[in-house]
Amino acid sequence: MSVPPYQVRQCANPACRFRFPVTETRVPGTICPLCGTVTTLAALYAGGQPPLRREQGRPVEALLDNIRSIYNVGSMMRTADGAGLRHVHVCGITPPPDHPKVAKTALGAEQTVGWTQSGNGLDTAVTLQQQGSQLWALEGAPGAEPLLETAVPPDTPIVLIVGNEIAGVDPGILAVCDKVLYIPMQGVKESLNVASAFAIATYHLTRSPSRKEDR
């Protein structure tokens, strides 16, 4: 289904010239929301969508352990869909993807990515490890490796684990992980929003050039 060409409107008042997009039919945009002057059609966004590309990525799944925010979960589901994750495990207090409010940020991805729910993230992680997956946690813990400098094996199943927005990944889960990774920070903040960090890590694990592990 093609996307209609959305409008860019601009206020005709020389002292205002407010320029804004109109993406809903309920908001005609013919009147400037700032000064009330009539607006003019300034441009049209390109209609349609880019060709759909489905590339076979690495066998990567995700485990979301005790994520508090519904909106973070929705954002991570959308990332999971875009990066081609095989499955998402939601554990502990993490809101399930079928929660009505998740759709606000997932934008349909909650219906395209397979997921399961568990009350215990450690039990889930151990089970996945016993089934042959490597557990890679995203956490700024002692001994963690820089994410973007970590070699990613091409065919090894990996479960990317992210934890609570405040407390981080459950120490019990960290203790059984095969790798713990961190994203280097150059500013004054110690970490990124969990959904942003998840997006960076997910695309690195699924799309970075294959390299053999250093021996």
Determine the pLDDT at residue 16: 97
Rg of the chain (C-alpha set): 21
Block means of pLDDT (10 residues each) for the chain, 215 residues, are 74 96 84 95 78 68 95 92 92 89 72 89 97 96 90 92 94 96 78 90 86 46
Determine the pLDDT at residue 101: 77
Residues of each domain in the chain carrying CATH 3.40.1280.10: 60-207
Determine the pLDDT at residue 198: 96
Beta carbons within 10 angstroms of residue 203's beta carbon: 15
Q: 139 near 115, Cβ under 8 Å?
A: no
Question: In degrees, to the nearest 5, what angle opens at C-alpha 160 toward C-alphas 134 and 97?
Answer: 130
Determine the pLDDT at residue 1: 41
pTM here?
0.80
39-76 burial, b for 16+ CB within 10 Å, e for fewer? beeeeeeeeeeeeeeeeeebbbbbbbbbbbbbebbbbb
Q: How far is CA 68 from CA 55, 99, 146, in A?
A: 31, 13, 25
- CATH architecture of the domain with residue range 60-207: 3-Layer(aba) Sandwich (3.40)
Determine the pLDDT at residue 215: 40
Q: 79 near 110, Cβ under 8 Å?
A: no
